[in-house]
Copies of this chain bind each other. A is one copy, B any other.
Amino acid sequence: MEKFYIGADIGGTTVKFGMFSRTGEMMEKWEIETRVEDEGVNILPDVAASIEEKRAEKDGNIMGIGIGVPGPVTDEGVVLRCPNIHWPVLHVRSKLVELTGVGNIKVGNDANVAALGEMWKGGGRGFDSIVMVTLGTGVGGGIILGGKMLTGVKGAGGEIGHTKVEWNETEECGCGGKGCLEQYASATGIVRMAKSGLRQDSSLAGIEDMTAKDVLDAAKAGDEYALIITERFAKYLGVALANVAHVVDPEAFVIGGGVSLAGEIIIKKVEKYYNDNVLYALRDKEFRLAELGNDAGIYGAVRMVL
């Protein structure tokens, strides 16, 4: 019988799965709906059933399962709170062992797991210590040092989006704080900055439902106001990553999420502000774009058990 490994990434809308060979080749991927009702009590049974269905279809053996979840996780695989999928405190690892009969199961925070995936097969290939930052609706962070995820004692390691970068902010971040990186470097943050003080001579002035892509596209086209906003975005992110470098001194930074699709313009500007704000010994780290998109999670998840 063939031997398979499963990587799964539990999100607020879908659970993504990948089936991998022993050597880490992805053989198939699929997804199911995430049923968040009733404190998400169906999620793990659904995951186990979907894996069993695939196993039976292939008539193979499951040798290991790695799972990424959207919240803080301890090294023992206990989730402390997952608001996105309505989980209370839950021992994910032992529950899944019980449901699947597979002993080799590991659970990680989704941002850390995505970082592991990018380091293994994506933008962080060839490195051993990276900081990955995901610029989407929010700003997520995952840190890998010497090949191992930095989890932290409460599973809150790598929460870069909530480091403080501005003292004079008046609006509140989703976390209740003021001046968090997420307020400037997320897609939402870029739009927020662009809308506040929007100049009528900017091409952005005519756009309804402005997106971060609109702002970055306008900047690429030379719109002066959009360039100012992009510069502010890059300055906050560059300084925040400089602060992170002074703490963990990684080899490289990997930038992912929707905002990163703007490409090299982001990397170049962020890198400049980073280098302007770090100690000499920390200059000239590698800056890379993420490459795996939504698959980073399933790659990283399976990597934990391979």
The chain A residues found within 8 Å of chain B, CB to CB, are 72, 80-81, 129, 143, 145, 150-160, 162-164, 166-167, 175-177, 239, 242-251, 277-282
Give CA–CA (A81, B280) in the complex, Å.
11
Copies of the polypeptide in the assembly: 2
Contact B163 A243 (CB under 8 A): yes
Contact A281 B154 (CB under 8 A): yes
Contact A152 B239 (CB under 8 A): no
Give CA–CA (A255, B239) in the complex, Å.
25
User: Of B145, B159, B277, B282, which is within 8 A of A279 by CB?
Assistant: B159
Contact B251 A153 (CB under 8 A): yes
Minimum CB–CB distance from A146 to chain B (whole Å) comes to: 9
Minimum CB–CB distance from A231 to chain B (whole Å) comes to: 14
Contact B175 A153 (CB under 8 A): no
Give CA–CA (A163, B279) in the complex, Å.
9
Q: Which 3 A-B pairs have the closest CB atoms?
A: A152-B249, A163-B243, A157-B249
Residues of B within 8 A of A80 (CB): 281
Contact A247 B249 (CB under 8 A): no
Contact A277 B154 (CB under 8 A): no
Give CA–CA (A145, B145) in the complex, Å.
11
Minimum CB–CB distance from A44 to chain B (whole Å) comes to: 22
**Could you list 17 A-B pairs, sorted by A, with CB under 8 Å?**
A145-B150, A150-B247, A151-B249, A153-B249, A153-B250, A154-B249, A154-B282, A155-B249, A155-B281, A159-B246, A159-B247, A159-B279, A160-B247, A163-B243, A166-B167, A175-B279, A177-B279
Given contacts A150-B145, A246-B163, A248-B150, contact A156 B279 (CB under 8 A): yes
